[in-house]
Amino acid sequence: METVVSGIRPTGNLHLGNYFGAVKSFIQMQNEYNCYFFIADWHSLTTHPHPENMKRSVRTILAEYLACGIDPEKATIYIQSDVREVAELYLYLNMNAYLGELERVTSFKDKIRQQPDNVNAGLLTYPSLMASDIIIHKAVKVPVGKDQEQNMEMARKFARRFNSIYGVDFFPEPASFSLSNKAVKIPGLDGSGKMGKSEGNAIYLADDEATIRKKVMKAVTDAGPTIPNSEKPVAVENLFSLLDIVSTPDTYAYFNDKYNACEIRYGDLKKQLAADINTFCAPIRERILDISANDAYMDKVAREGAEKASESARKTIREVREIIGFRS
Ligand code: TRP
């Protein structure tokens, strides 16, 4: 079975966009591949050197992934910092990673603009840590968004370079499995194209019913159509896209007909949309609460995930040490 790796930085709660993007793909992939999904807490240190709430963020994301249906019986779910072998491989990759190429990475250039007082070596070598995450398990597929393409190119380059420097055919070149192409795109409620945490237009899986209703009722619309069968403006199209995802085809058709007949009442549409989003989120939300309250279960998942991931990582490191010429 082919091996898949993907990492998630623990930066906050999952929203509907995450669910219909990465999470749903992960849930599908865990049935078809040997999957390693991990929480990239080391990567967080590149931007947040004082992780006061690291433990909490890691727990939150772990509980939410489990609540969505990522299954520790099928996939290996672990916390990056539990697998120290990754750091050893990172050291070796860094010896053959060059300043020039690392400085050219767009996300590095963005980050040094965002945090000019903390241009640390971890930020510079983010791509070699990410490459280590991937090739430590000899993964061949990595489900990531378009924004990770440059990091993926670096990972392939580092894998190739290791093979050529040591004259081996050891690491496979990991391919990107672009989520952006496969995922259903979840629009924002503010008339923008995309739901996102930084956009401030997100509905979170953990939001309660009242919060969902409040957010949906505030969604941007217009004065309503005056010409039958006219094209919908983006903000209105966005609401219909959401309806298409969470409501029944009948509900969608009902409001679509109303729109086309210029009889749409956005208040009614929003009420229905809020109710249907809540119906979708409620069982996930309940599982999030249950799992978060179950420390013993969370600890067990993290411990078993760490054991399985370490076993795979130890095997790779043993061979890497032999290839380079260290005592194994
Ligand atoms: N850089 C990724 C992101 O910001 C997270 C990540 C770290 C990752 N290591 C990885 C993703 C390895 C895939 C594989 O989203």
The domain spanning residue 278 has which CATH number? 1.10.240.10
CATH of the domain at 173: 3.40.50.620
Tally the domains of the chain. 2
Among 194, 271, 308, 315, the one annotated catalytic = 194
Give the C-alpha separation, 131 to 162, whole Å. Answer: 11
My answer on whether 96 and 218 are in the same domain is no
User: CA 327, CA 321: separation in Å to the nearest integer?
Assistant: 7
Q: Residue 231 domain-assigned? A: yes
Please indicate, yes or no, whether residues 89 and 162 belong to a single structural domain of this protein.
yes
Using DSSP's 3-state secondary structure scheme, residue 72 falls into coil
Residue nearest to atom 15 of ligand 1 (CA): 8
165: nearest Cα among 118, 109, 110, 96: 96
Domain that holds residue 25: 3-185+295-324
197 C-beta closer than 6 A to ligand 1? no
Establish if 199 belongs to a structural domain: no
Q: Whose CA is nearest to atom 6 of ligand 1?
A: 7
Report the greatest alpha carbon distance in the chain. 78
Nearest atom, ligand 1, residue 145 CA = 15
Domain-located, residue 96: yes
Same-domain pairing of 46 and 135 = yes
Give the pLDDT band (50/70/90) at residue 181: confident
Residues 163, 62, single domain; the answer is yes
Categorize the per-residue pLDDT at 52 as very low, low, confident or very high, splitting at 50, 70 and 90: confident
User: Is 109 assigned a catalytic role?
Assistant: no
On whether both 181 and 301 belong to a single domain, the answer is yes
Summarize pLDDT for 134-160 with one digit per residue, the tens. 999 999 999 999 899 999 999 999 999
Same domain, 304 and 170: yes
Q: Is there a catalytic annotation at residue 111?
A: yes
What is the 209 CA–ligand 1 centroid distance (Å)?
32
- Between CA 105 and CA 86 the distance in angstroms is 21
Residues 141 and 73 in one domain: yes
State the average pLDDT over residues 284-298. Answer: 98
How confident is the model at residue 191, as a pLDDT?
85
C-beta 41 within 6 A of ligand 1: no
**Ligand 1 pocket check for 124: Cβ under 6 Å:** no
Global pTM reads: 0.93
- Does the C-beta of 142 come closer than 6 Å to ligand 1? yes
pLDDT at 235 over 80: yes
**Are 179 and 219 in a shared domain?**
no
- Pair 145, 93 in one domain: yes
Number of H helices, E strands in the chain: 16, 5
In a domain, 196, yes or no: no
Domain assignment present for residue 195? The answer is no
Q: Is the CB of 46 under 6 A from ligand 1?
A: no
Is 215 a catalytic site residue? no
Hey, which of 46, 144, 180 would you mutate to test ligand 1's pocket, going by the most ligand atoms within 8 Å of its Cβ? 144
Of the residues 148, 154, 178, 197, which should be mutated to test ligand 1's pocket, given the most ligand atoms within 8 Å of the CB?
Answer: 148
202 within some domain: no
The answer to whether residue 200 scores a pLDDT higher than 90 is: no
**Residue in the block written with tokens 């007949």:** 261
111 within a domain of the structure (yes/no): yes
Neighbour order of strands in the sheet with 76-79? 76-79, 34-39, 3-8, 141-144, 175-178
Does residue 158 share a domain with residue 32? yes
The answer to whether residue 279 sits within a structural domain is yes
pLDDT at 179: 86
Tell me: do 123 and 17 sit in the same domain: yes
For residue 139, give the ligand 1 atom closest to its CA: 14
Quickly state the pLDDT bin for 127 (edges 50, 70, 90). very high
| 3-class DSSP state of 6 | strand
- pLDDT tens digits for range 78-104: 999 999 999 999 999 999 999 999 999
Residue type, 146: K
Both 94 and 164 in one domain: the answer is yes
Q: Is the CB of 134 under 6 A from ligand 1?
A: yes
